[in-house]
């Protein structure tokens, strides 16, 4: 167990809807990163938050947005869901400047 939790575990949405995924960091970690993992693929970096500010973004459209809260927990929001958004969404927490990231169990999103 890494101490990183995510909710919900599974989620089913329909195309065009909006979704919010949540992540609680490991205690004391001030950096959160989000990754999308399509079936059979490796994770792809979405964005990272450090002290409530976005600190780098991967090749994802603006309908993917995030928040980090003062307690370092985080949300990933996806608007106008598309079928290709179906994936496992992973968050990872770390201390700024530390190399190792600790991943949560993921949220499985299915878009119908």
Give residues in contact with another protein (CB under 8 A). 2, 4, 31, 33, 35, 39-45, 48, 55-56, 58-59, 88, 90, 92, 94, 99-106, 108
Task: Closer to another protein by CB, 43 or 66: give it.
Answer: 43
Task: Closer to another protein by CB, 75 or 102: give it.
Answer: 102
* Least distance to another protein, CB of residue 104, Å: 6
Task: Closer to another protein by CB, 18 or 27: give it.
Answer: 27
Do the strands 10-13 and 107-111 form a parallel or antiparallel pair, or are they unpaired? parallel
* Least distance to another protein, CB of residue 4, Å: 8
CA angle 92, 23, 69 (to 5 degrees): 105
* Least distance to another protein, CB of residue 48, Å: 6
Give the Å distances, CA to CA, from 22 to 40, 54, 74, 99: 23, 16, 6, 23
């Amino acid at each position: 167990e890494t101490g990183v939790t995510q909710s919900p575990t599974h989620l089913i949405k329909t195309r065009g809807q909006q979704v919010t995924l949540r992540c609680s960091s490991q205690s004391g970690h001030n950096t959160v990163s989000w990754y999308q993992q399509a079936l059979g693929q490796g994770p792809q970096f979405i964005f990272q938050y450090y002290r409530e500010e976005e600190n780098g973004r991967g090749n994802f459209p603006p309908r993917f947005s995030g928040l980090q809260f003062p307690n370092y927990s985080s949300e990933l929001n996806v608007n106008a869901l598309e079928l290709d958004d179906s994936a496992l969404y992973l968050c990872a927490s770390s201390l700024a400047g530390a190399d190792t990231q600790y991943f949560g169990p993921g949220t499985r999103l299915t878009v119908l």
